[in-house]
Chains A and B, each alone.
Chain A
Amino acid sequence: MLQTNLEHVTSKEHLQQIIESNEKVAVCCGRMGPMCIPVYEVFEVFGEKYPDIKFMDMEFDNPEAAVIRSLPECSTFRGLPFTVYYRNGKVVKATTSIQNAKQIKEVIEEVLS
């Protein structure tokens, strides 16, 4: 289990239900490692700054995380975490490896603003 204060995505069905009931969703799929922790923590801070976006995480080693790992947008990714942004139920952006607050803000402005 990820030790974050974010709401965790637990299954494919759970993710489906979240992206159907929220226009803007961001999911950071990773482990408790040095590349992932900074992204979860920026998500925690941004949860307050962007109340219209649902920021969540998902454990990379959960077999259900195939719903993220096997996305075509992530097919070339070889760096944790895989971070996926959804709008109206569709993937609008995916990033690999660590991203800082500025980079995450740029993605939000590009696809979720």
Chain B
Amino acid sequence: MSHHFDLIIIGAGPAGLAAAIYASRAAIKTLVIDESSAGGQVKTTHQVANYPGFIEPVSGHQLASNMKKQAEKYGTKFELAAEITDLNLVGAEKWVKADGETYTAKQIIISTGSSPRLLNVPGEKEFKGGGISYCATCDGEFYTGKDIVVVGGGNSAMEESLLLLQFVNSITVIHQFDALQAEKVTAEKMIQNPKVNILWSHEPRGFEKNGERMIITAENLKTKEMVTIERDGVFIFVGMLPNVDALKNTPLEFSKYGYIVTNENMETNIEGVYAAGDVRDKKYRQIATAVGDGTVASLEVIRKM
């Protein structure tokens, strides 16, 4: 079946929800499609302390839920947990197919955000939750008194590692460079900790299991030599990637890192198609900047309609 809207927003994170609030308040018939629930990365952020308007830190879950309810209050329709199987961004009438339904609109805002990057090496998917984790607060206690590997050397990797040190016996950090990318204070705390050992200039090449333990194969990037280490678990924190898989076969212009290129009005290279939030090629990725992008994109849509 086909359903017509004035505006389709793909992605219900803060960028998409801000855009939806503005558009719906301007009586634009708006649909938000998300492959998950509404809220994006914010709904899973424990506490947000830097979003204006909240004197005390607000739970990300609460903030996301409020944004969605605000959009709903003004009439935004949601199609959640819906998988986009095909879409056409070109021409006056654009369409999106999701879960067997077709949705058409003249304007589309893409706000699909970003997700934690996977290593994409053998064993990573198979052992997720059974030796491989992506969240220290969630899974750290399963490794109390154990020896683990942390992959990554940026801020989030080191901050999560400091948290893991409250539980584990030791951490071996596998890092692709020969210096940590994290802020100096955090990096120093890790380097000075006697429970921490760092494998510099190494990258994991695969994970296997030996009973309860994980076997990690890593390559020394300088000598090309492979090393194998055995630990109880692996935590992976290697940055974020834009969510653009569903858009790969469209004529959208992407930056060399895979983000969508826009002008300051959030217009992409395709007429009637906008990008907002973390998926856009820009310097700062925060809730406030995503909300700002969503607002600008929506105001452009309103102006053109």
User: Which residues of A are at the interface with B, using a C-beta cutoff of 8 A?
Assistant: 3, 31-38, 41-42, 44-46, 49, 76-80, 95-98, 100-102, 105
Contact = CB atoms under 8 A, between A and B. Distances in A.
Nearest to B233: A78
Given A34-B45, A102-B83, A41 B137 contact: no
B155 interface: no
B73 interface: no
A45 B80 CA distance: 7
Given A96-B129, A100-B36, A102-B35, A46 B81 contact: yes
B6 to A, nearest CB: 24
A35 B134 contact: yes
Given A32-B61, A78-B143, A44 B37 contact: yes
Nearest to A40: B37
A34 B142 contact: no
A37 B43 CA distance: 7
Interface in B99-142: 128-135, 137-139, 142
Given A34-B45, A49-B81, A78 B37 contact: no
Interface residues of B, number: 29
Interface in B175-189: none
A45 B131 CA distance: 29
Contacts of A33: 44, 46, 135, 137-138
Nearest to A3: B61
Q: Which of A34, A46, A96 neighbours the largest number of chain B CB atoms within 10 Å of its CB?
A: A34
Given A37-B43, A101-B82, 12 more contacts: A34-B138, A37-B44, A41-B36, A78-B129, A78-B139, A78-B233, A79-B142, A96-B128, A96-B129, A97-B139, A98-B134, A105-B83
A41 to B, nearest CB: 3
Contacts, number: 85
Interface of B: 35-39, 43-46, 61, 80-83, 128-135, 137-139, 142-143, 212, 233
B45 A78 contact: no
A109 to B, nearest CB: 13
Contacts of A80: 135, 138-139
Contacts of A36: 138
B44 A38 contact: yes
A101 B142 contact: no
A101 B35 contact: yes
B81 to A, nearest CB: 4
A91 B249 CA distance: 41
Closest CB pairs A-B (n = 9)? A79-B129, A97-B129, A41-B37, A96-B129, A34-B44, A101-B81, A78-B142, A45-B81, A33-B138
A97 B39 contact: no
A97 B128 contact: yes
B83 A34 contact: no
A102 B36 CA distance: 9
Contacts of B135: 33-35, 80
Contacts of B82: 101
A61 B174 CA distance: 32
B43 A41 contact: yes
A50 B67 CA distance: 26
B230 to A, nearest CB: 16
A69 B129 CA distance: 14
Contact of B36 (A3, A35, A38): A38
Nearest to B115: A100
B36 A42 contact: yes
A76 to B, nearest CB: 5
A34 B37 contact: no
Contacts of A96: 128-130
A101 B83 contact: yes
Given A3-B61, A31-B138, A35-B134, A41 B128 contact: no
